[in-house]
Amino acid sequence: MDSHPECLFCKIVARAAPAQIVYHDEWVTAFRDIHPAAPVHVLIVPNRHVAGLNELAEAGTDLAARLLLAAADVAHREGVHQSGYRVIINTGADSGQIVLHLHLHLIGGQHMRYPIG
Ligand code: 5GP
Ligand code: ZN
């Protein structure tokens, strides 16, 4: 199934829940995190429901590539491609993943320490 009726990010992709969408195409949708961790904090999600990184192989390499390329594109649009940014994919309980629809956190606009946590 491509869309899960109870999934928050499926609803945002379908415009059935509000979000500040900054980019979309036939593969991915990108919108501002509701609780930004930095001046730029955008979530990039596949338009079809994929639970997490562990399930991405089943969705195919094209989608994997589209997600990464969209992250770089959004970084450019948000003006952080030169200053730098971080892309995070939380996966599973230890990572703190809350929303079970794959999402790339694009974070930037300030200097970040590494590692985190
Ligand atoms: P996770 O911990 O699953 O990797 O991150 C989920 C992210 O989704 C969090 O950073 C959280 O702030 C964000 N989030 C949760 N609910 C909403 C929402 O309704 N709208 C938006 N735009 N972001 C959300
Ligand atoms: Zn979903």
Task: List pLDDT tens digits, range 60-91.
Answer: 999 999 999 999 999 999 999 999 999 999 99
Protein residue with its CA nearest to atom 4 in ligand 1:
97
Beta-sheet pairing, 85-88 with 40-46: unpaired
Q: What pTM did the predictor assign?
A: 0.97
Cβ count within 10 A of residue 92: 11
pLDDT at 67: 98
Examine residue 115 and state whether it is found in any structural domain, yes or no: no
Which tokens go with 8? 């928050």
Q: What is the CATH classification number for the domain harbouring 101?
A: 3.30.428.10
CA distance 22 to 44: 10
Domain-embedded: residue 19: yes
Question: Is residue 114, in this structure, part of any structural domain at all?
Answer: no
Q: Looking at the 3D structure of the chain, how many domains does it have?
A: 1
Flag whether 29 is in a domain: yes
- In the annotation, is 35 catalytic? no
Contact 33, 80 (CB under 8 A): no
Query: Does some domain include residue 2?
Result: no
44 alpha carbon, closest ligand: 1
**51: containing domain:** 8-108
CA distance 105 to 41: 7
Residue from 36, 21, 28 nearest 68 by CA: 28
Ligand 1 proximal residues by C-beta, below 6 Å: 8, 19, 31-35, 43, 90, 96-99
Instruction: Please say if the pLDDT value at position 23 is more than 60.
Output: yes
